Chain A
Amino acid sequence: AQRVTQPEKLLSVFKGAPVELKCNYSYSGSPELFWYVQYSRQRLQLLLRHISRESIKGFTADLNKGETSFHLKKPFAQEEDSAMYYCAPHPLSGAGSYQLTFGKGTKLSVIP
């Protein structure tokens, strides 16, 4: 069964401090991994996907197949990073392959 775990409901860090939002997944096959973000009073939107190997707003995420993790990282947190972050593994093939399953989310609060 598809399962994604974001162990932290709430993460508070000081401005300028490094931040890591954890995500672990359990999937058969090789999923593609996404991070979505929801800023206050805005729509849920894609932040980044691992296949693109990109850095968006200073965030990066490395897929670790051995640990089945896709943690989101940023070296220096900014106040505008405060938001709700959702990890979303997506299987590339197989039954239910288009059912994008989201983690329960982590609320990041950056303290000025």
Chain B
Amino acid sequence: GAGVSQSPSNKVTEKGKDVELRCDPISGHTALYWYRQSLGQGLEFLIYFQGNSAPDKSGLPSDRFSAERTGGSVSTLTIQRTQQEDSALYLCASSGTSQEKLFFGSGTQLSVL
């Protein structure tokens, strides 16, 4: 595709429900990142995938958060038993051969009621 695609663009859920957020990176990009952007908190790193290597999960805030990347392409971020503090904009980014330059998606705005 032309860019990083995230779906859904908006998600409203009830506290305690599970949600899945999807990211389609730019074709051929080997690195994929998830970030969370909360009001006044800047960008918070969540998880990083690089090729077939074990992901860097050091930024996941709790064990309710998990992510996978199938076939080295599409990634899904899952939040179980959502809490109100999970409400934020979840951003996905990918990068290719120049590892450092990230291309961001438009994000999924998650609202937990």
**Which chain A residues have a beta carbon within 8 Å of chain B's beta carbons?**
6, 9, 32, 34, 36, 43-46, 49, 86, 90, 96, 98-105
Contacts and interface: CB of A to CB of B under 8 A. Distances in A.
A98 B31 contact: yes
Contact of B42 (A46, A98, A105): A105
A49 B31 CA distance: 19
A102 B43 contact: yes
Nearest to A36: B102
Contacts of B35: 102
Contacts of B93: 44
A8 B59 CA distance: 24
19 contacts: A6-B42, A34-B100, A44-B91, A44-B93, A44-B104, A45-B104, A49-B101, A86-B42, A96-B56, A96-B58, A98-B56, A99-B56, A99-B58, A99-B59, A102-B35, A102-B43, A104-B42, A105-B42, A105-B43
B50 A86 contact: no
A46 B31 contact: no
B106 A43 contact: yes
Given A99-B58, A99-B59, A105-B42, 11 more contacts: A86-B43, A98-B50, A98-B56, A98-B99, A99-B45, A99-B48, A100-B45, A100-B100, A102-B42, A102-B43, A102-B45
B41 interface: yes
Interface string B18-61: 00000000000001010100001111010010100000101100
Contacts of A34: 100-101
Interface string B41-85: 111010010100000101100000000000000000000000000
B104 A32 contact: no
